[in-house]
Structure 1
């Protein structure tokens, strides 16, 4: 229990602004000319009124499901009249973090947002975004206007987080999977309603970053998600990643998986936390106020995993991918060049500490440490932090990403990338002189509009091309298109995305994967 509870893993994907989120409940009557209003769309549960401006239509706070605490989601009840969809719905319960000071105690939070081109159209590709982190965030933080401008319908969703999304207990049949069930239910909503927003329910791409990308690894292997999406984009996912000792949290021992826990492990962890909350059974736990649960330190982070060995995930997604048991859809997947610099900086530099690089390598790799220290000598890097981050980027992120893409490519078309802009602007409120490089989730402002994170002209040009690649892939399962540098399939190279220098690289050589093999 101590090991799992210590997983205070800081996976970024939440914008720094915190607009007020409210549950949209206002309705008006739909009559006469209003039926032809471009701001009004009729879903299978009722009509919604969004906003039209700047070449796009935006619908926010649409309820896609309802769910009791640690219960499966169900389609929402129908309503009469026109629901106001001009404001975000409530965020799922969360306590925020130093880099995202947000908080919510509202369990009525299963809402989504839809951004479409303002110009009428039909059978447009649909992209469903899963935000990262797993303990904080919400769909409305991702401004999808630039993606929608490429003729795409973009859906961003809320899903249950932390202890409310990944909690397990002996009395729960499918415990540890509620956030994943929410994502699957949102995809069912898309299948029923995409056409009403001009989208094609037969051409749905699910895409996500970090925790959201790992959730896609689960959706690829979950029987319930079969047929609900037709392409997948995984940005900095951890589906196949393990954790050497001290890699994510100083002093934490090695773990064989970053994302997946057996049903028995999660149930035992849940029982232990139930004791801390003074409860002996589920009835007691379900009666607790949200704020009481959130008072327990680390409880949100302790359940930033999904459980397997149940109906939702019969086996670990990592093992399922290795055995070729996944839904056959084209995949676009990659990572950033300097993934682990963010985590090292947050553990050390931001706190005014300097890591003991040789000691950390010895603790993580034991008898192999001398070889690693020779391969990554400290005098080659700007600081001990950069040296340690480089080791972990190669050993954890690059190795897992390369294995993932190689396995998937044995069965489906795969396009691998590396986001390599080492001058990417930091969109989190982290002030330090640290050299972030192409940090974890640093590619987000290149896909979603970030008004507080301006891009230089060359970076804006890269952003335009990335959005073009992503939209092309959603449209046809192939990112290539007119005016874009060629992108080969995995096995023939990885596309490095860098301002003014998009090119094919040898990813394995860049990250010394021959050494790590």
Structure 2
């Protein structure tokens, strides 16, 4: 059965099935191509009549994940210019003022879309939450830093989508005064930036960060990948020059420059930059309820499928410790807690804590507002992935069958029930069902069997990173002071 909703730009036709109304591919901003390429998002042109919203809309230009990740995380590619679109799932019973969740997908700022079956919002609508998922510009078109274009265009797209939600979600039964933004990986990193952006003020009231800590870089750092691409393209590093390049050629060069970079192993990539406008320098974050956490073995998505974990030898591990100035006592502590672990696993565990779990815990420590911390610990049997990055998504959305590439068949439905229920409760009331973060450091560990709160899990390992971080800071301050003293003695130096 079809259903009509009226937005500020025109009417859209959705479809009702099993009591859930679905509207797909609804534009929230004008197509960012032609004269609008590399510009901030522009308003949608109103339309006459009723616009069909029955199929997923175009995805942002991108290349697939590199093998073997492309088999584990299918990434649909839907052609078309109207890639700034969103999807809505809502109960079809005529309810109103329902809580709203806005899902921002991950993909290292260069992959992903809202059209993955894993992100189907039916279960949220079934349980009384209006679920909105959004597309935004990716890669160099969304996050490339140019002297003649606004920065953080992908983030501006997200703000435009949240503005659309504020202005239109009541027509779909949602409450614009009760909006929770939720994202994973790069989506969570984007939300952490949105929590500090004056342009996003008032557009959401709660936030969920899954496996993505706050992370921004200076503009100069963010521009490096653009300069590398410009050299490969043999054009100036300007938006005007890049806009004249064929899109397929641009994507080919982008893929070549990024290469095999990943969030754990590092390498060139795209970042949110501190531009003093969308993302101010050192701003106080909004006081919103926050749910955040990570998966126990995040690193295994990148280290295991391609055999990296097996190629890391003891010597490689020692060299990595030297390169990143990691004290030897850190590695000894991790080895002692994991007898029999391979060097690659030790390095991966340390990277997970250094890049994800530690920063997320520090964010929780810094907040006066209600904050809830979780850890996802269930281990997938597929390819030895364990409790890897992105594994929790199918449990959150209650879409286990759509995520069998990662989970395998027969993933525990009771765990999906528990995790999905917690996300619904948080979006509804701000309370996922366990005690908020305090000096005891309570963490809800989602596992099967055995979900429950654990106080300060693996605290000794996190503490040693904090000690090393403080020592590094003291050393930096000491070196700076010595330089300043020398400068005062010899002003010409």
Q: Which has the higher helix share?
A: 2
Q: Deviations over 1:285-319 (max 9, x none)?
A: 2122211211214456745211112311122xxx4
Counterpart of 2:431 in structure 1 is 478
Is the 2:317–2:344 contact (alpha carbons within 8 Å) kept by the matching residues of 1? Answer: no
User: Does structure 1 conserve the Cα–Cα contact (< 8 Å) formed by 2:228 and 2:257?
Assistant: no
Q: TM-score, normalised by structure 2?
A: 0.83
Q: 1:278 aligns with which of 234, 240, 253?
A: 234
The 1:346/1:472 distance shift into structure 2, 3 A limit, reads same
Residue of structure 2 aligned with 1:495, choices 444, 464, 468: 444
- 8 Å CA contact 1:357–1:388 kept in 2: the answer is no
User: What is the Cα deviation at residue 170 of structure 1?
Assistant: 1.7
> Is residue 442 from structure 1 mapped to residue 391 from structure 2 by the alignment?
yes
SS of equivalent residue, structure 2 residue 115: helix
* Ranges in structure 2 where 5+ consecutive residues have no aligned partner: 262-267, 467-493
Is this contact kept in 1: 2:113–2:135, CA < 8 A?
Answer: yes
Separation in 1, partners of 2:85, 2:104: 13
1:261 aligns with 2:214: no
Which structure ranks higher in relative contact order (CA pairs < 8 Å, sequence separation ≥ 6)? 1
* Equivalent residue, structure 1, for 2:105: 131
Aligned to 1:161: 138
Equivalent residue, structure 2, for 1:412: 369
Whole-angstrom CA distance in 2 between matches of 1:457 and 1:69? 45
- Give the gaps of 5 or more residues in structure 1: 1-36, 240-258, 427-431, 481-485
Q: Which residue of 2 aligns with 1:335?
A: 294
Give the Cα–Cα distance (whole angstroms) in 2 for the partners of residues 126 and 222 of structure 1: 20
* Counterparts in 2 of 1:336 and 1:507: CA distance versus 1, 3 Å: farther
Superposed, which structure 2 residues align to 1:115-514 within 5 Å? 115-133=89-107, 134-141=109-116, 142-172=119-149, 174-175=150-151, 177-239=152-214, 259-280=215-236, 281-296=238-253, 297-299=255-257, 302-315=268-281, 319-320=282-283, 325-346=284-305, 348-349=307-308, 353-365=310-322, 368-377=326-335, 380-408=339-367, 411-422=368-379, 424=380, 426=382, 432=383, 435-448=384-397, 449-453=399-403, 459-480=412-433, 486-492=434-440, 493-509=442-458, 512-514=461-463
Query: Partners in 2 of 1:511 and 1:397 — Cα distance?
Result: 16
CA RMSD after TM alignment: 2.3
Does the CA contact (< 8 Å) of 1:162 and 1:299 recur in 2? no
Residue 262 of structure 1 contacts residue 307 of structure 1 at CA under 8 Å; is this kept in 2?
yes
Deviations along 1:407-428, whole A, 9 cap, x unmatched? 12xx210001111112x365xx
Once the two structures are superposed, the pairs formed by residues 31-50 of structure 1 within 5 Å of their partners are 39-50=3-14
Instruction: Give 3-state SS (helix, strand or coil) of 1:112's partner.
Output: strand
Aligned in 2, Cα 1:299/1:158: closer, same or farther, shift over 3 Å? Answer: farther
Aligned residues: 436
Q: How does 1:96-111 map to 2 (within 5 A)?
A: 96-97=64-65, 98=67, 99-100=69-70, 102=75, 103=77, 106-111=80-85
Q: Deviations over 1:432-455 (max 9, x none)?
A: 4xx322111110110221434457
The normalised TM-score by structure 1 is 0.79
